[in-house]
């Protein structure tokens, strides 16, 4: 009996002091979803670019300029004199509309209305926000926004769907500079 107790104690001590081993995961992720999603997004961007470039090539009356921010623009009315451009905190007053590339109006200037916007302090979709920075008071500009600079994957939950490139005709009425430097 004494030997049995000693054998039990030795076995408990030897098996009880075993170090923890790392457990293997039940499932592994290869990252293939992310890679596949990136491929699809690149393909979407290429398709939109081709569609927009085809649209621009049909606009013989306009000279479009590619911006650093991924959209295109053309001056309908250009102010040549050296005037101010909007900067952080400035309040601008402008009118704009939104259209599909086929020219179908989504939101007219009348339905959106005249708008005051404080630069970089209020929400506005990326393309339009960056486009307004290029404008001077009195200018009319036509912008062509790929979906990723407009409403992107989510749309606007009303009339603009998923991944829709847009045309916008913008009139910048005035800039009131913020003098709180």
Asked if the model's pLDDT at residue 70 lies above 90, the reply is yes
pLDDT on residue 91: 96
Asked if the model's pLDDT at residue 119 lies above 90, the reply is yes
Lowest-pLDDT choice from 36-40, 43-47, 60-64, 71-75: 36-40
Contacts of 73 (CB under 8 A, 6+ apart): 64, 65, 67, 131, 134, 141, 142, 143, 144
Which pLDDT band, with edges at 50, 70 and 90, does 14 fall under? low
Which pLDDT band, with edges at 50, 70 and 90, does 59 fall under? very high
What CATH code is assigned to 44-176? 3.10.50.40
DSSP H stretches of helix in the chain: 2-16, 32-57, 109-112, 126-133
Backbone angles phi, psi at 170, to 5 degrees: -115, 135
Cα–Cα distance between 65 and 136 in angstroms, integer?
16
Asked if the model's pLDDT at residue 133 lies above 90, the reply is yes
Separation in Å, CA 82 to CA 59, 78, 90, 91, 137: 28, 11, 18, 19, 11
Q: Please give the average per-residue pLDDT across 4-22, as a whole number.
A: 65
pLDDT on residue 178: 86
Asked if the model's pLDDT at residue 130 lies above 90, the reply is yes
Share of the chain above pLDDT 90, in %: 71
* Average pLDDT value over all residues in the chain: 89
Q: Please give the average per-residue pLDDT across 78-96, as a whole number.
A: 93
What residue segments make up the domains of the chain, in order of their start?
44-176
pTM: 0.79
């Amino acid at each position: 009996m004494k030997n049995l107790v000693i054998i039990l104690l030795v076995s408990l001590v030897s098996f009880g002091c075993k170090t923890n081993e790392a457990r293997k995961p039940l499932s592994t992720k290869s990252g293939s979803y992310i890679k596949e999603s990136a491929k699809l997004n690149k393909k979407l961007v290429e398709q939109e670019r081709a569609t927009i470039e085809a649209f621009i090539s049909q606009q013989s009356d306009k000279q479009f300029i590619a911006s650093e921010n991924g959209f295109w623009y053309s001056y309908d009315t250009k102010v040549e004199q050296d005037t101010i451009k909007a900067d952080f905190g400035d309040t601008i007053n402008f009118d704009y509309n939104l259209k599909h590339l086929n020219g179908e109006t989504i939101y007219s200037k009348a339905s959106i209305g005249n708008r005051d916007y404080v630069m970089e302090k209020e929400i506005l979709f990326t393309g339009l926000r960056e486009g307004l920075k290029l404008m001077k008071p009195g200018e009319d500009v036509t912008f062509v926004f790929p979906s990723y600079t407009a409403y992107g994957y989510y749309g606007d939950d009303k009339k603009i769907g998923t991944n829709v490139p847009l045309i916008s005709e913008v009139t910048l009425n005035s800039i009131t500079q913020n003098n709180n430097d």
